[in-house]
């Protein structure tokens, strides 16, 4: 292979991705993005920007939504995974936590984790992953026999993350893990993401909560209308005037309606 040395090579490299739904609805218009090995990368953007679509395109879930990649490539660990089916992607070492948690509410916590480990057969390895999840989420340990549907929102998010960790991924994709959770829980989720990352898993973190995401991200991207409109190191984006206004609700615009600021600003700066 002609790729650069493994240490410098990105674990995930998305290049010029175009995605359409139902053959006609163009949603991604040439998105490129890198997740360096070992990094946390944040992907920001308002509702409808195409963040979830990008994750679907990476993980092979587009087909479920009658979507398809029409242009571009996705490389994982130096080899192309463009258009691979989701199970194959998981086997290669990339896992995702879908938007809205999507735990198997009728199954117990343990059964959810068992389902998460479906792609792996080695009992000892599965046991290790299970123990790791339980150490990471003591709350799940207390409720491991409970039906997942009865867990709180925060616990369900932890279960969804734990379920993905059962696949022992080298790259974890998280789609708005803080959505709908109380600030205290969001803080916990934040720390968990840092923990997971420090244990050697690279992370692509999709968020609307930019403060949270950028505070732990090495690098960030901002999407609007199916394009990446801004990117830079986490700290830099955190201090960026536009970002502050659009996502943090501070700055000259004050606490104006989110939408107003956004459309005004978007026209003014990014879509010129």
Partner 1 sequence: MTDFLQLSFAGLALGALYALVALGFVIIYKATGVINFAQGGLVLLGGYLTYNVHHTWGVPFYLSIPVAMILCGMVGAAVERVVLRRMVGQPVFAVIMVTIGLLFVIEQVVTGTWGFNRLNMGDPWGIKKFTVGDVQLSVVNLWTIMLAALVMAGFFLFFRYSRLGVAMRATAFDQEAAIANGISARRVFALSWAIAGAVATLAGVMLASGGSGLSPEIEFVALLAFPAIILGGLDSPAGAVLGGVIIGLTQTLTAGYQPRYADWLGNGFSSVMPYVVMIVILLIRPYGLFGTKEVRRV
Ligand X SMILES: Nc1ncnc2c1ncn2[C@@H]1O[C@H](COP(=O)(O)OP(=O)(O)O)[C@@H](O)[C@H]1O
Q: Which positions lie near ligand X, rule CB under 6 A?
A: 21-22, 25, 27, 45, 47-53, 65
Q: Can you tell me the distance from the alpha carbon of 253 to that of 17, in angstroms, rounded to the nearest whole number?
A: 33
C-alpha triplet 272, 251, 44: angle, nearest 5°: 60
Phi, psi of 199 (to 5 degrees): -85, 5
Do residues 226 and 26 make contact, with C-beta atoms less than 8 angstroms apart?
Answer: yes
Interface of this chain with partner 1, residues 102 to 141, rule: CB under 8 A: 102-107, 111-112, 114-116, 118-119
53 binds, among ligand X, partner 1, Mg ion, none (CB under 5 to 8 A by kind): ligand X
Q: Is 53 in the site for Mg ion (CB under 5 A)?
A: no
Q: In what order do the strands lie in the sheet with 171-175?
A: 94-97, 171-175, 202-207, 40-45, 219-224, 227-233
Cα–Cα distance between 112 and 257 in angstroms, integer? Answer: 40
Residue 224 token pair = 């609007």
Closer of 52 and 202 to ligand X (Cβ): 52
Residue number, 85 or 131, with CB nearest to partner 1: 85
104 binds, options ligand X, Mg ion, partner 1, none, Cβ within 5 to 8 A by partner type: partner 1
Least spacing, CB of residue 196 vs partner 1, in Å: 17
Size of residue set near partner 1 by CB under 8 A: 28
Task: Tell whether residue 178 is a contact of Mg ion (CB under 5 A).
Answer: no
CB of 260 to ligand X, least distance (A): 19
Does residue number 52 form part of the binding site for Mg ion (CB under 5 A)?
A: yes
Q: Using the rule CB under 8 A, is 4 a contact of partner 1?
A: no
Cβ neighbours of 196 (radius 10 Å) = 21
Least distance (Å) between residue 93 CB and ligand X: 23
For partner 1, the closer CB: 44 or 103: 103
**Alpha carbon 147 to chain centroid distance?**
26
């Amino acid at each position: 292979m002609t790729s650069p040395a493994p240490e410098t090579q990105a674990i995930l490299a998305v290049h010029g991705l175009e995605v359409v739904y139902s053959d006609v609805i163009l949603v991604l218009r040439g998105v490129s993005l890198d997740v360096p090995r070992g990094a946390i990368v944040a992907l920001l953007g308002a509702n409808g920007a195409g963040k979830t679509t990008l994750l679907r395109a990476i993980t092979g879930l587009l087909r479920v939504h009658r979507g398809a990649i029409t242009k571009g490539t996705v490389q994982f660990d130096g080899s192309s995974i463009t258009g691979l089916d989701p199970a194959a992607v998981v086997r290669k070492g990339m896992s995702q936590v879908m938007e809205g948690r999507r735990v198997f509410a009728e199954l117990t916590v343990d059964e959810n984790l068992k389902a998460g480990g479906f792609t792996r057969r080695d009992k000892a390895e599965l046991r290790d992953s299970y123990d790791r999840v339980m150490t990471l989420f003591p709350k799940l340990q207390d409720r491991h026999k409970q039906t997942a549907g009865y867990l709180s929102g925060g616990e369900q998010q932890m279960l969804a993350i734990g379920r993905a960790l059962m696949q022992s991924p080298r790259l974890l994709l998280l789609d708005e893990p803080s959505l709908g959770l109380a600030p205290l829980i969001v803080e916990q989720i934040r720390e968990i993401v840092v923990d997971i990352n420090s244990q050697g898993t690279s992370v692509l973190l999709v968020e609307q909560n930019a403060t949270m995401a950028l505070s732990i991200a090495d690098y960030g991207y901002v999407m609007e209308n199916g394009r990446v409109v801004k990117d830079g190191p986490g700290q830099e984006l955190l201090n960026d005037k536009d970002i502050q206004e659009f996502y943090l609700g501070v700055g000259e615009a004050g606490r104006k309606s989110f939408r107003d600021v956004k459309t005004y600003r978007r026209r003014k700066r990014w879509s010129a």
